[in-house]
């Protein structure tokens, strides 16, 4: 009989499964890779689940340039800290954490110094310029992980980390006076944001792809005042319009739907071209703006608020190795709520 050495019994696994983008435009490949070692301020996280975001498609379609290659995508990570780098001060082994899109900001560039770390010149992004969560393990900088409440220590927590967070940042940009808010594109972000907005007494108007009755029903079920095709004029003028669909022609349409002084907030990282429109649509102090990335302040505020509501996410789960199918589901927009990979 083979004698088993003590360290063979206790040794952590040394390899992990991961779905890897080797070349943009091609399907992800399942690989067995060494588990990364956390250095300095990094922690090693055993991943429970990772959300699939439209941004992952923009990266794979080369609509976002210069990703790390090869790349493990994924920036909506829920997991448990299992190992600490030598300079980790706050997190402990066993902590439940969420890892978002903003993986690192420098703290000293002009943007970081004026509380706009979302615009940091030296930022690193999870699942884009550093490896992300389509894997069994990942490393992350402790200062950019969020401690999660235990109710989100499962796949339902994953969509909060981008869909929820970016949705929330977009919502705050609409301003505290916005009462009637239009959400254009009723997917992962909108289904979370509607819960937060209703909790704060807002009215939600949900716009979907033309004829997408299922999404309109889903929005009504979640409490939308009005739901309809994105080409239709809503039942009341809006104080704010938040566009999640990557469709530039929605910008002039949303401006048409706005009341005086209202704003259009574009929540996506990529959008098709915005057609020209008459100045009349912008007149009377209407605004158009984008939202880029997130700050840690957004994350802390949003996660506390989500737990208080409490936000419940609707998820469609895929096993890790079915990441390509999961991405196709996001592309088709045929699932309600969010798509999440489980490890």
Residue 333: CB minimum distance to Zn ion, A: 15
Q: Among residues 123 and 250, whose Cβ is nearest to Zn ion?
A: 123
Residue 269: CB minimum distance to Zn ion, A: 8
Residue 254: CB minimum distance to Zn ion, A: 21
Rounded to a whole number, what is the distance in angstroms from the first to the last CA of the chain? Answer: 34
Q: Among residues 109 and 292, whose Cβ is nearest to Zn ion?
A: 109
Rounded distance between C-alpha atoms, residue 59 and residue 37, angstroms: 25
Site mask, Zn ion, residues 115-154, x = CB under 5 A?
Answer: -----x----------------------------------
Residue 15: CB minimum distance to Zn ion, A: 27
Residue 163: CB minimum distance to Zn ion, A: 7
Phi, psi of 323 (to 5 degrees): -60, -35
Rounded distance between C-alpha atoms, residue 147 and residue 44, angstroms: 14
Q: Among residues 2 and 114, whose Cβ is nearest to Zn ion?
A: 114
Query: Could you say whether residue 106 binds Zn ion (CB under 5 A)?
Result: yes
Query: Could you say whether residue 162 binds Zn ion (CB under 5 A)?
Result: yes
Handedness of CA 206, 208, 210, 216 (dihedral sign): negative
Query: Could you say whether residue 295 binds Zn ion (CB under 5 A)?
Result: no
Rounded distance between C-alpha atoms, residue 70 and residue 225, angstroms: 45
Half-sphere CA count of 182, side-chain side, radius 13 A = 33
Q: Among residues 109 and 342, whose Cβ is nearest to Zn ion?
A: 109
In which region does residue 285 sit, left (phi positive, over 0), alpha (psi from -120 to 50) or beta (all else)? left
Strands 29-34 and 146-147: unpaired
Q: Which residues of 246-270 are buried (b: 16+ CB within 10 A; e: fewer)?
A: bbebbbbbbbebbeeebbbbbbbbe
Residue 43: CB minimum distance to Zn ion, A: 21
- The stretch near Zn ion (CB under 5 A) out of 35-43, 107-115, 131-139, 208-216 is 107-115
Q: Among residues 128 and 207, whose Cβ is nearest to Zn ion?
A: 128
Using DSSP, state whether 95 is helix, strand or coil: coil
Site mask, Zn ion, residues 46-65, x = CB under 5 A?
Answer: -------x-x----------
Positions touching Zn ion (CB under 5 A) are: 53, 55, 105-106, 109, 112, 120, 162
């Amino acid at each position: 009989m083979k004698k088993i050495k003590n360290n063979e019994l206790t040794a952590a696994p040394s390899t992990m499964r991961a779905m890897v983008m080797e070349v943009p435009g091609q399907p992800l490949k399942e690989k067995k890779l060494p588990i990364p070692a956390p250095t300095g301020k990094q922690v090693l996280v055993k991943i429970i689940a990772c959300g699939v975001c439209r941004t992952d498609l923009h990266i794979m379609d080369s609509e976002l340039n210069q990703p790390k290659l090869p790349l493990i995508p994924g920036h909506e990570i829920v997991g448990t800290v299992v190992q600490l780098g030598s300079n980790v001060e706050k997190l402990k082994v066993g902590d439940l954490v969420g890892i978002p899109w903003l993986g690192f900001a420098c703290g000293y560039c002009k943007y970081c110094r004026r509380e706009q770390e979302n615009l940091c010149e030296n930022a690193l992004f999870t699942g884009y310029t550093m490896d992300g969560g389509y894997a069994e393990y990942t490393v992350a900088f402790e200062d950019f992980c969020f401690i999660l409440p235990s109710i989100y220590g499962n796949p339902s927590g994953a969509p909060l980390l981008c869909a929820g967070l970016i949705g929330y940042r977009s919502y705050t940009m609409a301003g505290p006076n916005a009462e009637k808010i239009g959400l254009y594109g009723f997917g992962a972000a909108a289904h979370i944001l509607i819960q937060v907005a209703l909790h704060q007494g807002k009215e939600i108007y949900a716009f979907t792809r033309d004829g997408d009755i299922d999404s309109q029903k889903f929005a009504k079920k979640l409490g939308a005042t009005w739901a309809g095709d994105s080409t239709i004029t809503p039942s009341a003028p809006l104080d704010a319009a938040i566009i999640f669909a990557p469709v530039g022609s929605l910008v002039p349409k949303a401006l048409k739907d706005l009341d005086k002084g209202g704003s259009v907030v574009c929540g996506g990282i990529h959008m098709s071209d915005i057609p020209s429109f008459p100045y009349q649509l912008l007149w009377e102090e209407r605004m158009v703006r984008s939202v880029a990335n997130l700050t840690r302040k957004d994350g802390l505020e949003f996660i506390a608020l989500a737990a208080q509501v409490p936000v419940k996410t609707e998820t469609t789960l895929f096993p890790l190795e079915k990441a390509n199918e999961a991405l196709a589901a996001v592309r088709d927009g045929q699932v309600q709520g969010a798509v999440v990979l489980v490890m």
